[in-house]
């Protein structure tokens, strides 16, 4: 075996070793990455907003009663608010003070999208008297029923 052939063989060995070893150094980034916390939260946010919208629809079509509607909606808005707070923390934003309002705004946007799809326009109604209310109304203009209490206030009044 000539020294040239030996060197060539050695070079091939080194290349082979690198090809085998490189993927081992790359273990930190597997081919299929689990969803990040942010992606998971974004998915949950969409799910919660969709669920609130569905709940609004079920209530308008009389599928569920006012009591269930109010209870379920509050729980979902609270969950949505919690997700927005976590997302804001991940993004290092510290202005997540009105997350419940933001959830309502996102639901309202979804309602508008549905309306422009040619379906019946979404109309919120008071859970107490059934009077039509604006999506942003905090109180029913007919009976004065508080419409979507904020989570903090709901907790405070329960104590």
Q: What does the binding site for Zn ion look like in residue numbers (CB under 5 A)? A: 126, 128-129, 131, 140, 142-143, 145
DSSP string, 34-49: PPPHHHHHHHHHHHHH
Find the shortest distance in angstroms from Cβ 85 to Zn ion. Answer: 30
Find the shortest distance in angstroms from Cβ 144 to Zn ion. Answer: 7
Which one, 83 or 124, has the nearer CB to Zn ion?
Answer: 124
Find the shortest distance in angstroms from Cβ 36 to Zn ion. Answer: 43
Q: Which of 62, 155, 45 is nearest to 105 (CA)?
A: 45
Find the shortest distance in angstroms from Cβ 109 to Zn ion. Answer: 24
Q: Element (H or E) spanning 124, and its range?
A: strand 124-125
Which one, 82 or 145, has the nearer CB to Zn ion?
Answer: 145
Which one, 71 or 131, has the nearer CB to Zn ion?
Answer: 131
List CB contacts of 127: < 8 A, sequence separation 6 or more. Answer: 59, 66, 69, 70, 145, 147
Distance CA 3, CA 26 (A): 35
Crossing angle for the helix pair 66-90 and 99-116, nearest 10 degrees?
Answer: 110
Which one, 145 or 151, has the nearer CB to Zn ion?
Answer: 145
């Amino acid at each position: 075996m000539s020294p040239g052939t030996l060197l060539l063989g050695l070079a091939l060995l080194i290349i082979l070793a690198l090809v085998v070893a490189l993927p081992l150094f790359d273990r930190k980034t597997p081919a299929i990455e689990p969803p990040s916390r942010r992606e998971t939260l974004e998915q949950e946010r969409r799910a919660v907003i969709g669920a609130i919208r569905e709940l609004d629809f079920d209530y308008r079509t009389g599928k569920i009663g006012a009591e269930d509607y109010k209870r379920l909606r509050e729980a979902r808005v609270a969950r949505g608010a919690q997700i927005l707070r976590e997302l804001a923390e991940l993004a290092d934003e510290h202005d997540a003070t009105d997350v419940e309002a933001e959830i309502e705004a996102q639901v309202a946007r979804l309602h508008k999208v549905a309306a422009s799809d040619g379906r019946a326009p979404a109309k919120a109604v008071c859970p107490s008297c059934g009077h039509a209310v604006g999506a942003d109304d905090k109180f029913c203009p007919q009976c004065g029923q508080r419409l979507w209490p904020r989570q903090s206030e709901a907790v405070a009044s329960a104590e």
